[in-house]
Amino acid sequence: MNATDNRMQKVIFDLGSETWHGYSTESVWATNRGSGVYQLENSPFFAKGVSFKDTVITSQFEGQIKVIGLGPKSGHSTYRILVSQDKHDPVLFGKSWEPLERLGCSYEHGDFGYQLYAVDVPESVDIESAYAFLERGEQKGAWDFEEGHCGHL
C-alpha cells in the first residue's frame, strides 16, 4: 500500500490493563493520510482523548497499525452513553436522545453485555447544550454517560 491509498483501515489504540470495561485495545476505522498519519472515521467506544475526524500518528507493529501519538484535532467531541441491559427503556431512550439528534449529534451503538453508544458532537453543535441534554437523560434514568474527549474550543 502506498501513501496515497485512501482505503479505510483499522488503527489500534492501546487502552492499558486497568479499564472498567475490560478491553485492553480498541480498533477504529481510519483513512490513511500518508506518512503514518490516519484520520479517524468513526467515534471510539473506549479510547479517550480522541474523536471522529481527529488525526493520529501510527506505527506498524506485528502486522497491525498501532496509534503512537495524536495529530491535529477536528473540533468534534465524544461522549459515551451506557445503558445496562436491565434498565434499557427504548421509549425513554428515544425521547431523551431526540433533542441531541436535533442538535446534530449522532451515535454508534455496540452491545457489550450492556448497551454502549459512542456519541459524536460535531464542532458546529453548541457543546453546552449537548452536555445539558446528556445530563437530562441521565437525570431521567435513560442512561449514564461519560466524556471521552471534549474537542470543542
The fold of 77-149 is: Alpha-Beta Plaits (3.30.70)
Question: Where are the domain boundaries for CATH 3.30.70.260 in the chain?
Answer: 77-149
**Residue 5 confidence (pLDDT):** 57
5-62: per-residue pLDDT in tens? 568 999 999 998 778 788 899 999 999 999 999 999 999 999 999 999 999 999 999 9
Rg, the chain, Cα only: 16
Strand order in the sheet with 144-149: 106-111, 115-121, 77-83, 144-149
Instruction: Outline where 54-106 has alpha helix (H).
Output: 90-103
Residue range 135-142: mean pLDDT, rounded:
96
